[in-house]
Structure 1
Amino acid sequence: MPGPTNTLFATAGLQRGMRRSVHLIGAEFSGYLVSISVLGFFLAHAATSLTWIPALLRIASSLYLAFLSVRMWQTASAFPSTTQKTIGLRTLFVATLLNPKAILFAGTIFPAAAFESLPTYLEAMAIFTVALVPTGLAWIAFGAALGSGQLMRVSPVHLQRGASIVLAAFSLSLAWTVVHQVVQFRA
């Protein structure tokens, strides 16, 4: 199941093709670099005394994913219109910056030592990048193959609307997590 950024990669490949979408991987890397670094170095320490920060991040992520979901649904039938706004660097950067997976990466996947030692941090970020680049390329290639007609059984409109539904599901699951935590806390 694709996550929010991979869904956007597939949509970008669908809309613009492989060659014109590859640069978006830099936006994903930048978004994760900022969010994982901030979460790892600052928020992980601050969250012990400011317990509302993780919930606030989840709500912000949920709202942004809901916005992207609605926008993708509304523009699906316009494909391949030249007037349709394509997925750009800013959209992918912000979606990645707000991607809740960054919390998972910073809090559990990256070793705690990565945020205590620069060499360990650089090593962990390099390993992360080695996994990130081919994954992004694969999702862009999938969307590009769909857009070029190589996957004729799959409708681009249905794919983009399906991607919209996936983003909406991520948004709802994040919101539900926060609501569930608040209800449990008050009980």
Structure 2
Amino acid sequence: MTLETFLLGATALLATPGPTNTLLATSGAGRGVLRSLPLLAGEIGGYVLAILILREGVGPAIAAVPAFETALRLAVSGYLLYLALRLWRFGATAEAGGGPIGVRRVFVTTLLNPKAIIFAFTLIPAEADGLALLPWMGSLAALILCAGGLWILAGSAMARGLSGRVSGRIGYRFSALVLALLAGMVSAHAFTLG
């Protein structure tokens, strides 16, 4: 895969709604753009660590024990459900400007994000290791800053556009439903693996 193809694929993947992007948009809506920007460090760190763990540890483990992939997907699904429940509960008591979303939560969510599997095993060439990974990881970090920033901006814009019409807790509850749906999709895929 060429770097240009990687950039196109990674941009498309980062633009797709998912657990991390849901948190970024929710934070943008609840806390504003500037207070949400530090979350991008958690996203970059989560993806970089996930890719390294997947390529060096999980990939070989799945090759040796295929059932490990099912267990991993179920664990990810469980975490997404936990996160959905936390957002739902917070939505019941949300106050303007508050939010349960911090760098650590974005980091852990991204670390468990199924998109990391696509980065690790599809978009980044298998032969890229060691120092050869640096251009791929650097490009990914730059794309995360752009795409993640846009998700934060989108959340902030939606909150401004809906202010006065919809309470802040609706955004948290909607995000919780999106995460629960994603958890269902991940767990359903775990049971369809051949």
Q: TM-score range by the shorter chain?
A: 0.7 to 0.9
The structural deviation recorded for 1:103 is 1.1
Indicate the RMSD between aligned Cα atoms, in angstroms. Answer: 2.0
The structural deviation recorded for 1:154 is 6.7
CA–CA separation in structure 1 for the residues paired with 2:164 and 2:139: 36
Using the size of structure 1 for normalisation, the TM-score is: 0.86
* Aligned partner of 2:118 among 104, 108, 119: 104
Amino acid at match of 1:88: G
The structural deviation recorded for 1:10 is 0.8
The structural deviation recorded for 1:165 is 1.3
Query: Which runs of structure 2 are paired with 1:160-171 in the superposition (5 Å)?
Result: 160-171=172-183
Task: Give aligned pairs, total.
Answer: 178
SS at match of 1:47: helix
Query: Which runs of structure 2 are paired with 1:111-126 in the superposition (5 Å)?
Result: 111-115=125-129, 118-126=130-138
Structure 2 unaligned residues grouped into runs of 5+: 1-15
Q: Kindly, what percent of the aligned residue pairs are identical?
A: 34
Q: Work out whether 1:87 is the aligned partner of 2:101.
A: yes
The structural deviation recorded for 1:108 is 0.5
1:8 aligns to what? 23
Question: Does the CA contact (< 8 Å) of 1:5 and 1:95 recur in 2?
Answer: yes
Tell me whether 44-53 or 67-76 shows the greater mean CA deviation: 44-53
CA–CA separation in structure 1 for the residues paired with 2:188 and 2:32: 35
Question: Does the CA contact (< 8 Å) of 2:90 and 2:100 recur in 1?
Answer: no
Structure 1 unaligned residues grouped into runs of 5+: none
2:9 aligns to what? none
1:33 aligns to what? 48
Structure 1 ranges of 4+ moved more than 6 A:
none
CA–CA separation in structure 1 for the residues paired with 2:158 and 2:96: 16
Question: Does the CA contact (< 8 Å) of 1:27 and 1:92 recur in 2?
Answer: yes
Tell me whether 84-93 or 15-24 shows the greater mean CA deviation: 84-93
Using the size of structure 2 for normalisation, the TM-score is: 0.83
* Aligned partner of 1:131 among 139, 143, 147: 143
Amino acid at match of 2:118: L
CA–CA separation in structure 1 for the residues paired with 2:185 and 2:37: 29
